[in-house]
Amino acid sequence: MVVLVICGGGNGAHVLAGIASSNPNADVRVLTLYADEAERWTKAMEGNDFVVTVNNQDKSQTILKNKPRLVTKDPALAANKADMIVFTVPAFAHRQYLDALKPHIRPGTVLVGLPGQSGFEFEVWTAWGDLAKQCSIMSFESLPWACRFTEFGRAATVIGTKENLAGAAWYGSVPPKADPTLVLQGCLGPHPVLLTRGALLGITLMATNGYIHPSILFGRWHKWDGNPVNEPPLFYNGLDEFSAQTMSSVSDEILAVASSLMKQRPQVDLTNVAHIWQWYLRVYADDIGDKTSLFTTIRTNAAYSGLTHPTTKTDDGKFVPDFKHRYLMEDIPFGLLVSKGIAEVAGVPTPTIDSVISWAQQKMGKEYIVNGKLAGKDVSSTRCPQRYGLTTVDAILGL
Ligand code: NAI
């Protein structure tokens, strides 16, 4: 029996709760600290089924009707004898869960970020201190599904399941009871296939929202004349060559960081860091119409059909870009800036990343980079390693 704790109360938490509870060998508990979600979810399940509808690739549907054993806001109850704790909440909420869980964690526990997002391990090492060194950490590049809950605490839908999901593990001094990839795979079912390999820092460097969204916003709007536009432009399928080039250069710089770190610490495997174009070819293999280049790959990705730039409407019915959208407000401090911080530790210059961040911070009203260095006053609200005092190569790799 595996004791699995799911942290969160949103879309991913609903779906994972239903799918994992279908495994008779899993004792599934949900911990949600947010507002009154635990009470509402518990009440919603009373006398009702908890239904997860999975839309399969062959257009069939699987209906699961398995409830988690417990939904609670009490970390002691949730974490009692836990083997694996899975975070399925946006990154800004991670710290709250880490602090609440810390007194109830036993050595050997596996903590999973699903997704972890950039700098997950830095946050865990800092929040849990010595305890973290006796636990293991896994982080995955995304959620396994595109999903939504349709009725809170009662029903959720899996719109699509990924074929595979890249992740990595870092092992502390007390080994887990069983191979954590196999345990998690057992809770997810056959898909997505979990590809756990390489160093955890590779997943931090491959948190692709941090490259994709800010690069496209920078490319489209950095020379904007301030005049509203008639329609929100297509975000991906309307990509221009300059934005694709920007994204590619950002990705090249991140590859250079990985390569430099592997030279500095030859025992570390960061070959899980790939160029963003390779990433697209793996993740969206069946959706891309023209695989000639990164530019054509994104423009012809059917999974992105109809998605537009985040905008707000003006009084006269036109549109201006929304620079307070999560594509900057989350993807800079919890994404690109973390890579910049790692580059700084590795001693690798990042001129394109610097240009994107310098433009973005102005639009966001934040100060991160000053004279090319991560010295701005708002670094303290990011997940860059410097914010946690992790300023050496060994420290960011957890060696
Ligand atoms: P969500 O948006 O459904 O999460 C909302 C939940 O986060 C709330 O129910 C609450 O439990 C918690 N929360 C919200 N505000 C909070 C606050 N101020 N303090 C503490 N907790 C708060 O998230 P979802 O959709 O489950 O996604 C989880 C992660 O997976 C996110 O990082 C998301 O970007 C990523 N993801 C989601 C996909 C999807 O299809 N839902 C697809 C790919 C990635």
Give me the residues paired with residue 156 across strands: 52, 149
pLDDT of 288:
96
Integer Cα distance of 396 and 346 in angstroms:
10
Q: Go through 152-164 and write b for each residue having 16 or more CB atoms within 10 A of its CB, e for each that does not.
A: ebebbbbeebbee
Closest ligand 1 atom, residue 12 Cα = 26
Residue 208 burial (10 A CB sphere; 0-12, 13-18, 19+): buried
| Residues 207-217, mean pLDDT to the nearest whole number | 96
Q: What average pLDDT does the structure give for the chain?
A: 97
Beta strand 136-140 with 2-7 is: unpaired
152 lines ligand 1 (CB under 6 A): no
Distance of alpha carbon 53 from alpha carbon 20, whole angstroms:
13
Q: Is 148 helix (H, G, I), strand (E, B) or coil?
A: strand
| CATH tag, 204-397 | 1.10.1040.10
**49 vs 64: CA distance, rounded Å:** 9
Check residue 328 and give its pLDDT: 97
Minimal CA–CA distance to 12: which of 133, 103, 147? 147
HSE-CB at 295 with a 13 A cutoff on CA atoms is 9
Specify the residue for token string 């809770």: 187
Lookup: tokens for 74: 């009490």
In total, the chain counts a number of residues equal to 399
Strands 145-151, 155-161: parallel, antiparallel or unpaired by DSSP? antiparallel
Tell whether ligand 1 has an atom less than 6 A from the beta carbon of residue 32.
yes
Partner residues linked to 165 by β-bridges? 194
Tens of pLDDT, residues 2-29 = 999 999 999 999 999 999 999 999 999 9
**Residue closest to 26 by CA, chosen among 66, 56, 61:** 66
Question: For 160-188, what is the mean pLDDT?
Answer: 96
**pLDDT at position 88, please?**
98
What residues are labeled active site? 213
Give the model's pLDDT for residue 336.
Answer: 98
Tokens of 130: 């010595």
Cβ(208) – ligand 1 distance below 6 Å: no
Mutate to test the pocket of ligand 1, among 5, 33, 34 (most ligand atoms within 8 A of CB): 34
Give, to the nearest 10 degrees, the angle between helix 241-264 and helix 276-283: 100
Contact 122, 205 (CB under 8 A): no
- Nearest alpha carbon, ligand 1 atom 13: 34
Average pLDDT (386-391) is 97
Q: From the CB of 202, is ligand 1 less than 6 Å away?
A: no
Domain with CATH 3.40.50.720 in the chain: 2-197
Ligand 1 pocket, residue 17 CB under 6 Å: no
Ligand 1 atom nearest 148 alpha carbon: 41
281-304 pLDDT, tens digit each: 999 998 999 999 999 999 999 999
Residue ranges of the chain that CATH labels 1.10.1040.10: 204-397
Position 57 scores a pLDDT of 83
Q: How confident is the model at residue 274 (pLDDT cuts 50, 70, 90)?
A: very high
Task: Quote the CATH superfamily of domain 2-197.
Answer: NAD(P)-binding Rossmann-like Domain (3.40.50.720)
Backbone CA torsion sign across 308, 309, 315, 318: negative
- Residue 98 tokens, joined: 């880490």
Terminal-to-terminal C-alpha distance of the chain: 32
**Cα–Cα distance between 49 and 182 in angstroms, integer?**
28
Q: How far apart are CA 267 and CA 367, in angstroms?
A: 36
| Percent of all residues in the chain with a pLDDT value above 70, rounded to a whole number | 100
Angle at 211 between CA 209 and CA 214, to 5 degrees: 90
* Shortest-distance Cα residue to atom 21 of ligand 1: 34
CA distance 137 to 135: 7
How much of the chain, in percent, has pLDDT values that exceed 90? 97
Query: If you measure from the C-alpha of residue 329 to the centroid of ligand 1, how many angstroms do you get, rounded to a whole number?
Result: 15
Report the alpha-carbon distance of residue 145 to residue 157 in Å, rounded.
10
| CA-nearest residue, atom 23 of ligand 1 | 10
The interface pTM score, or ipTM, of the predicted complex is: 0.98
pLDDT tens, position by position, 316-337: 999 999 999 999 999 999 999 9
